[in-house]
Structure formats: C-alpha cells, structure tokens
Amino acid sequence: MRTMNEQEQIISEINKLRKEKNAVILAHNYQRPEVQDIADYTGDSLGLSQQAANTEADVIVFCGVHFMAETAYILAPDKTVVMPDDTAGCPLADMITVEALLQRKKELPDHTVVSYINTSAAVKAHSDICCTSSNAVKVIESVPDDKVLYVPDKNLALWANETTDKEIAIWPGFCPTHHYIKPAHIKELKEKHEGAEFMCHPECIPEVTELADFVGSTSAMFRYGKQSKAPTVIVGSEMGMLHKLQKESPEKKFLLANKQVVCPNMKRTTLNKIKDALVNLEPKITVEEGIRQKALISVQRMLEVV
Ligand code: SF4
C-alpha cells in the first residue's frame, strides 16, 4: 500500500481541521498552486469579499494579503478571520496613509474619494466608496459627483480615466510587482509566438495596457484566457495566474510576460502555515470597531453597485 507523502499528509490534516472547525479557506488567484488547489474558493478581491460576506462558516482562513483579510473581517465581524501569515502585506496599499489622505481631501474638498480595495481599513474608513479592478469603472460612474479622487493606484486610475467622463485626481501609488512588466517583454514574446494574444491587469503601466488585447481583473482574465482562440496567451499579471489558466485550458500555452512578476507577499502563505492557522486559530485579523463600521459603509456601497 502506498504511504502518503508529506504534502498529502498536510492536506489530509487541513481537510480534517476545516471540517472540525467549520472553516472556509479563501485564496487569491496569486497564491501558490498547492494553496489554490486546497481552497474552497479562489478568486479576485471582489469575489473573495463576496464569499466572506456570505459564508456560513465560523472561521475564514484568508490566503492573500493583509488588506484582503481585513476586508473579510469588515464584512464578517462575527467570524474568526485568520491569516496563515499575517506579515503578508501589500506595498501598494502601504503607499497611502490616513494622514496623507486627509491632507489631500482638504486640498480637494469637492472630490468623491474612491479607494481601491488595496487600502487599509483605516483608509477605507475615510473613503466614500471602494472598488476593485473588476468594478472600478462602474463604481466611478456610479458616484453622483463629477470629480473623483482615486487612491492609491495611479495605473488603474489612468486606465479607468480612458472610459469615464469623470475628472479623476490621481494618487501616485503603484504595484511594484506589475511594474516589472515592460512593453519590450510583450513585443519580444509576440515576435517569438506567432498569433499570440496579450491580456493584462490594469495595475500595469499605460505603455503596457495599450498593447493588450484585453485588460481586466484576474477573474476577467480567466474568462478571456478560456475563450481566446489564440494558441498562446501572454499573461501580464502575477505568476499565480498561470496555474488555473493552464489547468482549465491545457490545449493552450500561457506565458508570463516577465518571469519576475511574482508577488513575494502572496507567496508567503504555505500549506504548513494554513494547517497551523487552523490548529491555533491564529494569527487573527480584526479591525477596531469604530474604523470597521466606517469602512463597512464604503465596502457595502461598492457591493451595492456590482
Ligand atoms: Fe499588492 Fe501588487 Fe502584491 Fe497585489 S501583486 S498584493 S497589488 S504588491
């Protein structure tokens, strides 16, 4: 009889523990392949928020970065939200502080603040409405004012700016991981792979998004990659995307735009850490109640739009 290898053993323990603790495992599309494979749900920030809001589980094991687990707690404060590695942050989210936002709001008092979900709970608490990459344009269009302060991702703001008539004040934040993708990478891969298409995330720089056949959130990219007739699709986003794309469409070739497009924070979560989080129900993620209630308003407004 074949004995279980170490990974199978950990997965079997995770499966036992998730039942015992009535836990749901939510994983972002950028997580390691083995983490995506054991998750109850994988998705983009919007999908993960919706799952957190609607789950009947007692425990949410959030495999992603800190602001995502915070958002889960904002929506489901009666649940125990644990992050297998709570040092997994988001450098983009760290590019805005409450103090800096309040200062900018003073300078632009007639602007509605639309904050990307990649922000801390405290920044969300000082925003009018949140958005994700899958609903940014819809959210911006939904606000009654003509002037919007969009924080903190400048590339997403510039991309949204192309399809909306609103006047958008832009914050100078960016995702360091997506910034690794340059136009030269796409041109080189397109030359090497005849008939290849290119899809990318709106966190890429404008010189890259303008080369794309499709720009969208990670979930939208999955849909596009699946229905594309091209033999090769170049992926302008984080490496974790390739796992599901290749699994769902094995007949196609998916190529990462640049091998450096790996988010080190997203890779901090491992199967071992998930098991430990389920055993100890730690590290817990919470948000101070006053901040949570204010942040909830901007998150709920977003969920009402989509
Ligand atoms: Fe933040 Fe970029 Fe990593 Fe996403 S990929 S968590 S935006 S640093």
Number of structural domains found in the chain = 3
Task: Determine the Cα–Cα distance for residues 229 and 241; give it in Å rounded to an integer.
Answer: 18
- Written as one letter, the residue type at 214 is F
Q: Is the dihedral of CA 104, 109, 115, 119 positive or negative?
A: positive
pLDDT at 3: 76
90 CB less than 6 Å from ligand 1? yes
* Position in ligand 1 atom list of the atom nearest CA 153: 7
Do 34 and 70 share a structural domain? yes
CA atoms within 13 A on the CB side of 299: 32
- On whether both 8 and 64 belong to a single domain, the answer is yes
Confidence of residue 46 (pLDDT cuts 50, 70, 90): confident
Same domain flag for 152 and 298: yes
DSSP3 helix / strand / coil % (the chain, rounded to 5): 45, 15, 40
Q: Which of 65, 159, 74, 180 is nearest to 118 (CA)?
A: 65
Which residue's CA lies nearest to atom 1 of ligand 1?
90
Q: How many CB atoms sit inside 10 A of residue 176's CB?
A: 13
Q: Which structural domain, as residue segments, surrounds residue 206?
A: 177-263
Cα–Cα distance measured from residue 153 to residue 138, given in angstroms and rounded to the nearest whole number: 16
Ligand 1 atom closest to the CA of 64, numbered from 1: 6
266 lines ligand 1 (CB under 6 A): yes
Residue 74 and residue 127 in one domain: no
Same domain for 186 and 133, yes or no, is no
- Verify whether ligand 1 is closer than 6 Å to residue 177 (CB atom): yes
**Contact yes or no for 48/28 (Cβ under 8 A):** yes
Using alpha carbons, select from 27, 81, 85, 26 the residue that is nearest to residue 59.
Answer: 81
Q: Ligand 1: does its nearest atom lie under 6 Å from the Cβ of 204?
A: no
Q: Are residues 195 and 242 in the same domain?
A: yes
The pTM is what?
0.95
| 295 shares a domain with 166 | yes
Give the ligand 1 atom nearest the CA of 178.
2
Q: Does ligand 1 come within 6 angstroms of the Cβ of 65?
A: yes
For residues 97 and 72, state if they share a domain: no
Does 263 sit in the ligand 1 pocket, CB within 6 Å?
yes
pLDDT digit string, tens, across residues 202-253: 999 999 999 999 999 998 999 999 999 999 999 999 999 999 999 999 999 9
Q: How many helices (H) and strands (E) does the chain have?
A: 14, 12
Distance 242 CA to ligand 1 centre (A): 16
In the block, tokens 């649940």 appear at 79
The pLDDT, as a whole number, for residue 1 is 64
For Cα atoms 237, 238, 244, give the angle at the middle one, nearest 5 degrees: 95
Average pLDDT, the chain: 96
Q: DSSP class of residue 202?
A: T
pLDDT (tens digit per residue) in 51-90: 999 999 999 999 999 999 999 999 999 999 999 999 999 9
The span from the CA of 224 to the CA of 300, in Å, is 28
65 and 88 Cβ atoms separated by less than 8 Å: yes
Q: Collapsing DSSP states into helix, strand and coil, what is residue 8?
A: helix
Q: Do 36 and 162 belong to one domain?
A: no
Pocket test for ligand 1, best of 30, 132, 155, 177 (most atoms within 8 A of CB): 177
Measured distance CA(276)–CA(263) in Å, rounded = 23
* Per-residue b or e along 86-95, where b marks 16 or more CB atoms closer than 10 Å to that residue's CB: bebebbbbeb
**Measured between alpha carbons, how far is 183 from 212 in angstroms, rounded to an integer?**
10
CATH of the domain at 259: 3.40.50.10800
Question: Which residue lies with its CA nearest to atom 2 of ligand 1?
Answer: 175
d(CA 144, ligand 1 centre) in Å: 30
The sheet carrying 59-63 orders its strands as 41-43, 23-28, 59-63, 80-82
